[in-house]
Structure 1
């Protein structure tokens, strides 16, 4: 079968190896070994910043004993082979969870099915760390890591994985904010990449006034999408050059200044850029009792000067909360599917506009991530053929999908 692999990686992120390269090659078609496993034919795979970092930062780790890594962790596929006991049937559209639990007995999170909170760091992630991903014609996976995708969500089902990241944050925020009577009104999203835009759409579905602060121009496609869903887009400003050598704490960040000028308080901030100076600006801009969710992974070793005493004082006296989040659970995936359908219902066509490039597998080896628009999706099977492969809802007694989720 055809597969997109990365060569030049080593057994540890960022260590040794050659220069990472994307290649389209042949791989053995995977076979089911147990009745719990399912053979899935891949329809399409989304590409994101992690895939870019695997190439630019040597971030990926191939499976043990292998020298290459099949990339791709945002999947949409169709079941080709499954035992009845799995609850899945040929023709079911599915997406797959990314992380697999570690085998460390002392990791209570993984032992209880919460591998997204793994304590040991010895987890495996498909297409990222220690396991092949989904950018191939087929993959085999245990049924417990597969989530059925409703037929009506097929056009945007590939976005379930990134949306699950947003849903995990909202789920955590709801739990933590039970500490007080919390009535959030304004959310700020930092960044207008795919994750930032999904966060903005989620906030609009939750009824929050939403401001997106991003470096992209005000006439960009992302900015237009923000306005279409009723959000406010603000092209980010750089801190004044004079502030670089000023007394720590003397300068107010452009983000804080903008919010103050608008008379807004940021009850919830999603940091989706991975630009660490902006994360510290967000701590200052956060309203009392507010929550800052850090979703962007920061490569490199940047150092900045911060007003540490001021930030510490504000965090303590104003009950601010900062949480980091990555990966997600099955429940987050199921909530993500619900939310994507809600977005499409409230803002028809908006999810289709998030996908700015549809590629073939043959296009990937020559791909320049820097030239991509909002979201690139690789079609392993041409879209016009999907309807012939996917079982329609209602075509069987178990066609209705029952989910367990939080909204």
Structure 2
């Protein structure tokens, strides 16, 4: 079969190669790959920034945003041939740490976890892949064209879960959410905010294209002006930061209402210096009872929540997130970001 592979920490090693077909073990599904989403993590691995091949191997099969159809399933597993599935990315560490032992492997304490397509496990960028039934999640058949959005949706499902938990620290009835950044994470965060009945506001640099229309279709308001001015207008109770801009990440901290919550979902570049009035930052956090937290990755609970959120969403709206599809043979084209790209998908 063909697979999208890379030699980790070796720039320029991205290649589609012939590799052996997987042989599913007991309790595993054999899955036909349908599509693979490409995100910033994949690009960084392809540039040699990080990544680890499986033990004894030089190359890693890339890809963690999966979508496939079951070819074979163990009897009594709850799966059947033809089922639409995605694979969970992370696996608990072998010890395990307390978080992994309680199923919260997205919160692993000792960093001995492994991840499909990233850290010591082959990913889903192949025409066939196998997976343990405990780490496969079934999707509604209605999501056959957009189910590849599942993994990024798990990221925001977790973020919203954590926001909901933080809200229980005091009486809080949030009305308005401001999402900074209208990439896949930002737009999916806005979707889940709209599903919660919140007034949704999205701030992004784009002034044309599909993004403003997508926010409007959610019943939200799209902004592209100055961050401070937008925040004064919106007065958000919740901010979800998804730009990856250090200036914006720092800027949003003091822009929420009293007892407001800021969730950081983007990973900003290292070494980018921003001048900050640390005294004011600390003072406002304390006196206004604000919370700032980061959220990344997802566990099984978040995958199931994401599957429900996608099934509830308008498929036509979701399809607009996928702005470009490329065949596996031309997978390298997916790593060259276009000006209007939101989510690029490789057809397997």
Q: TM-score range by the shorter chain?
A: over 0.9
Instruction: Report the count of equivalent residues.
Output: 347
- Which 4+ residue blocks in structure 1 deviate beyond 6 angstroms? none
1:175 corresponds in structure 2 to 165
1:349 aligns to 2:341 (yes or no): no
Kept in 2: contact 1:57–1:299 (CA 8 A) = no
Q: TM-score, normalised by structure 1?
A: 0.82
- Conserved? CA contact 1:104–1:120, under 8 Å: no
The structural deviation recorded for 1:377 is 1.2
Aligned partners of 1:169, 1:368: CA distance in 2, in Å?
A: 27
Matched, 1:275 2:245: yes
Is the contact made by 2:153 and 2:185 (CA closer than 8 Å) also made in structure 1?
yes
- CA apart distance, 1:368: 4.4
SS state of the match for residue 184, structure 1?
coil
Is the partner of 1:181 in helix, strand or coil? Answer: coil
**In the alignment, which of 353, 361, 364 is matched to residue 331 of structure 2?**
364
CA distance in 2, matches of 1:20, 1:315: 44
Task: Find the aligned partners of 2:248 and 2:225 in 1 and give their Cα distance.
Answer: 10
Cα deviation for residue 236 of structure 1 reads 4.4
Alignment partners' CA distance in 1, 2:186 and 2:167: 22
Deviation, 1:308, is 0.6
Aligned equivalents of 1:125, 1:84: Cα separation in 2: 27
Alignment of 1:97-112 (within 5 A): 97-105=88-96, 107-112=97-102
**What per-residue deviation string (whole Å, max 9, x for no partner) do you get for residues 261-313 of structure 1?**
x2x31111111122222111010112111111111112332122111111111
In 2: Cα distance, 1:154 partner to 1:265 partner: 38
1:308 and 2:278 matched = yes
Give CA-to-partner distance per residue, 1:58-98, whole Å, 9 cap, x none: 23222222222211111111111221132212221111110
Residue aligned with 2:252, SS: helix
Aligned partner of 1:51 among 27, 35, 42: 42
Question: Where in structure 1 are there 5+ consecutive unaligned residues?
Answer: 11-17, 238-254, 381-407
Conserved 8 A contact 2:60-2:117: yes
CA apart distance, 1:354: 0.9
Q: CA separation in 1, counterparts of 2:270 and 2:167?
A: 33
Matched, 1:195 2:185: yes
CA displacement, residues 39-58 of structure 1 (integer Å, 9 cap, x when unaligned): 11111111112112222362
- Computing the radius of gyration over CA atoms, which structure comes out larger, 1 or 2? 1
Which residue of the partner structure matches residue 2 of structure 1? 2
For residues 314-393 of structure 1, the aligned pairs below 5 Å read 314-344=284-314, 349-371=316-338, 373-380=341-348
Q: Secondary structure at the match of 1:45?
A: strand
CA RMSD for the aligned pairs?
1.5
Listed as ranges, the matches of 1:97-246 within 5 Å are 97-105=88-96, 107-216=97-206, 218-237=207-226
Q: Which whole-Å CA distance do the structure 2 matches of 1:62 and 1:220 have between them? A: 39
TM-score by length of 2: 0.95
Q: 1:125 to 1:368 in 2, by over 3 A?
A: closer
Say which of 31, 42, 56 aligns to 2:23. Answer: 31
Correspondence for 1:385: none
The 2-side partners of 1:30 and 1:236 are apart by 50
Unaligned runs of 5+ in 2: none
Matches of residues 25-104 of structure 1 in structure 2 within 5 Å? 25-33=17-25, 35-56=26-47, 58-104=49-95
| Cα pair distance change 1:276/1:135, threshold 3 Å | same
1:352-375 per-residue CA deviation (whole Å, 9 max, x = no partner) reads 111111110011124443226111
Answer yes or no: is the 8 Å Cα contact 2:246–2:269 preserved in 1: no
